[in-house]
Amino acid sequence: MLTKEHIAQKFRTLQDDICRQLQEADGGGKFTEDNWLRAEGGGGRSRVIEGATIEKGGVMFSAVHGPLPEVTAKAMNLPPTTFFATGVSIVLHPHSPMAPIIHMNVRYFETGSGRWWFGGGIDLTPHYVVPEDAIFFHQQLKNTCDRFHPDFYPKFKETADDYFYIRHRQETRGVGGIFFDYLDENSAGMSQEQLFAFTYAVGQTFAPTYVPLLENARNRRWGEAEKKWQMLRRGRYVEFNLVWDRGTKFGLETNGRVESILMSMPPIASWGYNLQPKPGSPEAETQAWLRKGVDWV
């Protein structure tokens, strides 16, 4: 068995590694850090950036513990117990409409009654879908998954399609990615060490996957029209996170740390009334990609 201290320490190192790589790629911005404590136990180390390439981003580490909130215990069919949770969460909103928004989360959860599991995922939300980027992105995720289990990529890809879905708009948030939860000793015949190695590998895949996507976007020109579309797409991102994202809803309903939960919000977003992209436009093309079940690899 791995100790929770070990896992938390590794996640903290992951946060350091990712911030270093992102700061280098940003080419101008610097992460600022603030540490916070949770009244009931534990705390976190938040790192946020307003950079040259990344307009607003957060790479958040936390390790919290205490009594398991009643609503969680209920939802999970557990008697009153304690919990420990640690993880790294990232959302990055680039300046350029031609670069994608990205989200990553890796986490470990343990209850006082001896249950434990890993969860996490990475998903990509381009303002303009560039098929080559989406293929590269999914290929990277698949490579990482395949090192651990042949079922992981197809299964977690489908879960991401279902999860990152804006039901009221009947569109996916972006081009998906992978999403997994409740990975425990019963999930894949793998040990805790192996499942942690997988989860950690997902975390390590993040920077080498996103940095090239930022590079690809550097040469793409954009103007007013693209910026306007980006704002609208960010509006959809807000809609998904505030209306459908389980983590956000759960956090806000159980008095989680608001500033950490809502670091996923874009710096600016916009809404119009009944806007439809012109048929045949790049915006309409993107809209057409926002569906479940696209096989990118």
Footprint on residues 63-122 left by its own copies (CB under 8 A): none
User: Collapsing DSSP states into helix, strand and coil, what is residue 184?
Assistant: coil
Which distant-in-sequence residues (6+ apart) come within 8 Å of 15 by Cβ? 45, 47, 59, 60, 61, 88
Asked if 227 interacts with its own copies (CB under 8 A), we say no
Q: Which residues contact 224 (CB under 8 A, 6 or more apart)?
A: none
Note whether 291 binds its own copies by CB under 8 A: no
* Residue from 88, 129, 265, 290 binding its own copies (CB under 8 A): 265
DSSP letter for each residue of 41-75: SEEEEEEEE--SSEEEEEEEEEEEEEEPPHHHHHH
Residue 40 engages its own copies in binding (rule: CB under 8 A) = no
Phi, psi of 173 (to 5 degrees): -65, -30
Q: Which stretch binds its own copies (CB under 8 A): 2-10, 79-87, 184-192, 260-268?
A: 260-268
CA proximity to 144, closest of 133, 134, 156, 159: 156
Nearer to its own copies, 72 or 81 (CB): 72
Per the residue annotation, which of 95, 103, 127, 138 is the catalytic one?
A: 103
Does the protein bind its own copies through residue 252 (CB under 8 A)? Answer: yes
Comparing CB distances to its own copies, the nearer of 167 and 218 is 167
Question: Has 93 been annotated as catalytic?
Answer: no
Q: What is residue 109's three-state secondary structure?
A: strand
Per-residue x/- marks for its own copies, 231-250, CB under 8 A?
x---x--xx--xx-----x-
Q: How many of the chain's residues bind its own copies (CB under 8 A)?
A: 33
- Shortest spacing between CB 169 and its own copies, in angstroms: 7
Compute the distance between CA of residue 232 and CA of residue 173 in angstroms, rounded to an integer: 12
CB of 38 to its own copies, least distance (A): 15
Tokens of 56: 């607003």
Q: Is the Cβ of residue 46 or residue 172 nearer to its own copies in the bound state?
A: 46
What are phi and psi for residue 195, nearest 5 degrees?
-70, -35
Instruction: Give the closest residue to 49 by CA, choosing from 58, 40, 37, 39.
Output: 58
Q: Which residues bind to its own copies, rule: CB under 8 A?
A: 34, 46, 48, 56, 58, 167-169, 231, 235, 238-239, 242-243, 249, 252-253, 255, 258-259, 261-263, 265-274
Just list the catalytic residues: 103
